[in-house]
Amino acid sequence: MRNAAVFLAGLAMLGATLVAGPHTQGGMAAATPAQTPAAQTPTSTSAEVNGYYTTIAGYITRSLTMVPAEKLTWQPTPEVRSYARLFAHVTDDNNSACAALAGVTPAPPRVDVGTAPNWAADKMSKADLEKGLNDSVALCQKAFAAVNQANMMESAGGRGTRTKIGLLIYNTSHINEHYGNLVTYLRLNGMVPPSSGGK
C-alpha cells in the first residue's frame, strides 16, 4: 500500500508539472491556446498516466520531425549524445519499459549501441529513426492498454520491485527528462520546441 501511495504521489507531481502548463523562457506562464480542448476526467490511473505519456511522446516525435537529416549527428559537446542518439535512447527506454507489459518478448533490440565515434544511431537514416521511435510509442500504448485498476499494482517483473503502473510512471518521467534535453538542443539550433510552438 505504501508503494501505491508513493507512485500516486509521483503521478500527482508529474501531473502538477504538466498541468501548470507551458512556460515562456523567462519563466512566466504562457497563455493557454484557445484551441486547447477541455480536460476530461481520466477513466483509470493508467489512462491518466497515459495522457501525460502521450503528450510527452508527441513532443519527442514532433521534435524528430523538425530536425533536418543533416543535423542528426549534431551534439552541443562531445560528452553528450547527438540528436540521433537521444532519439534512439528514448526508443530504447520505451521498448525496455513497455515490451513485457505489452506481451512482447523478447524486447526489440537496442538502438543506441556502439562506442565513439561509431555509434549505431549516428549512422541511421532519419526515416529509420522515425520508424523505430514511432514503433516504440505504439508498443507503450499496448502496454498502457494492458494495465488496469485490477492489475496495476502487480509486479512488472524484471529488475527491481516496480509495479506495472510504477514502471509506466517511471518511463513517462524518464522520457520527459530527455525531452528537456531536446528543448535545449532545438533552441541552440534556432528551432522552437513543439511544446512552445504557436505562442
pLDDT of residue 28: 40
pLDDT of residue 33: 43
- Residue ranges for the chain with pLDDT beneath 50: 1-9, 11-34, 36
pTM of the model: 0.79
pLDDT of residue 139: 98
- The fold of 42-196 is Four Helix Bundle (Hemerythrin (Met), subunit A) (1.20.120)
CA-CA distance, 147 to 143, in Å (whole number)? 7
pLDDT of residue 76: 95
Which tens digit of pLDDT belongs to each residue from 143-197? 999 999 999 999 998 777 899 999 999 999 999 999 999 999 999 999 999 999 7
Residue with grid cell 533536418, as numbered in its chain: 68
pLDDT of residue 198: 58
pLDDT of residue 42: 74
pLDDT of residue 8: 46
Is residue 139 within 8 Å of residue 99, measured between CB atoms? yes
